[in-house]
Homo-oligomer: A and B are copies of this chain.
Amino acid sequence: MSASEQTNWQSVHDEVLRRIHTREWKPGDQIPKEVELAEQLGCARATVNRALRELAAEGFLDRRRKAGTRVSTHPVRRAKLDIPVIRLEIEGRGQKYGYGLLLSERRTPTPEVCANLGVSAKSDMLHITSLHLADRKPYMFEERWVSIDTVPEIVDADLSAISANEWLVLHAPYTKGDISFSAVLATETEAKILRTHAGAPLFLMERMTWEHDAGITAARLLFAPGYRMHSAI
């Protein structure tokens, strides 16, 4: 796409948003057809289409094949969260990254991991715990299960040199992933590792990935107190 085409759909996008914001088009209103808008704004129909698709993805418009396009009455706003490799997240904050492998052992998975990741109780898995540091302070405590059946190469990886997080990003692309966020209290063990006190509030990120239906990994990422995840909406 050239720079001028880019400006074009972007300016249609902005003009439509202006009409929504000034209530020229009110919530629930049907907006003009793409051809009409293209004529009004003096551009190609494809340009209008691109702009409207974007506005629908952003939650401002409801597009239905037969009913036409309406201004959302209850826009579901979407936040995009970037989930980078943890090393890059820390370095991106201008801090020095550090990493330590705490434990790596072949084990049969717990019933919880089996249920969540959809793997059999006889699966061959690697159980890994590690600590990620920012400027030498504990930043995130990672507890992870990796399926050796799905990713056999991980057995030969030197996980004391590269984190499982980073190794998996490089070697085990996934087709399906799942993420959730919640608040928990630090247990005695977690508090010791994160150098805080038991009962401190921790931000918990749980991630699972699959290659089609084969479970790759299930990770429990516990961030040290004070962690805030941030995004534009």
User: With A74-B88, A80-B78, A83-B76 as given contacts, are A184 and B181 in contact (CB-CB < 8 Å)?
Assistant: no
Among the listed B81, B169, B180, B201, which residue makes an inter-chain contact with A183, where contact means beta carbons less than 8 Å apart? B201
Task: Give every chain B residue within 8 A of A60 (Cβ-Cβ).
Answer: 173
Bound: A183/B225 CA distance, A: 8
Bound: A179/B202 CA distance, A: 18
Give the Cβ gap from A20 to chain B, nearest Cβ, in Å: 6
**Interface flag for A175 (CB, 8 Å):** yes
**Interface flag for A193 (CB, 8 Å):** no
Bound: A117/B79 CA distance, A: 19
B-binding segment of A93-101, A143-151, A203-211? A203-211
Task: Give every chain B residue within 8 A of A204 (Cβ-Cβ).
Answer: 183
User: Chain B residue with minimal CB distance to A225?
Assistant: B183
User: Chain B residue with minimal CB distance to A57?
Assistant: B80
Chain A 97-128 near chain B by CB (<8 Å), digits 1 or 0: 00000000000000000000000000000000
Q: Is the CB of A230 within 8 A of B180?
A: yes
Q: Is the CB of A181 within 8 A of B229?
A: yes
Task: List 4 tightest A-B contacts by C-beta distance, closest first.
Answer: A183-B183, A177-B233, A183-B201, A180-B230
Question: Given A74-B166, A179-B233, 4 more contacts at CB 8 Å?
Answer: A74-B170, A178-B231, A182-B229, A183-B204
